[in-house]
Amino acid sequence: MSNFEYIVASLPVLLPGYKYESGKAFSTLLEEIRENLSEKDNSLVDFLLKGFDSESLNADFYAEALSHRNRFIREYFRFDLNKRNAIVRRLNEELGREEGTDIMTGEGTDEDSGLDIDGMRFTGGEFEEERQLDDILSQKDLLTREKGLDDLTWNKVNNLTVFNYFDINAVLGFLAKLHIADRWLTLDEEQGRERFRTLVSEIKGTFKGIKYDS
pLDDT tens per residue, range 148-174: 999 999 999 999 998 887 789 989 998
pLDDT of residue 212 exceeding 60: no
> pLDDT for 84-93, tens place per residue?
999 999 989 8
Structural domain span for residue 74? 4-210
Mean pLDDT of 114-127: 73
60 or 120, greater pLDDT:
60
Between 114-118, 148-152, 156-160, 185-189, the lowest mean confidence (pLDDT) is in: 114-118
- Number of separate domains in the chain: 1
For position 3, what pLDDT does the model report? 80
CA atoms within 13 A on the CB side of 209: 9
Instruction: Return d(Cα 212, Cα 203) in angstroms, integer.
Output: 11
pLDDT of residue 111 exceeding 80: no
Mean pLDDT of 58-75: 94
For position 136, what pLDDT does the model report? 95
Q: What is the DSSP string of 106-137?
A: -B---TTS---TTSBS------TTHHHHHHHH
Nearest to 77 by CA among 146, 148, 157: 157
For position 51, what pLDDT does the model report? 97
Mean pLDDT of 69-91: 95
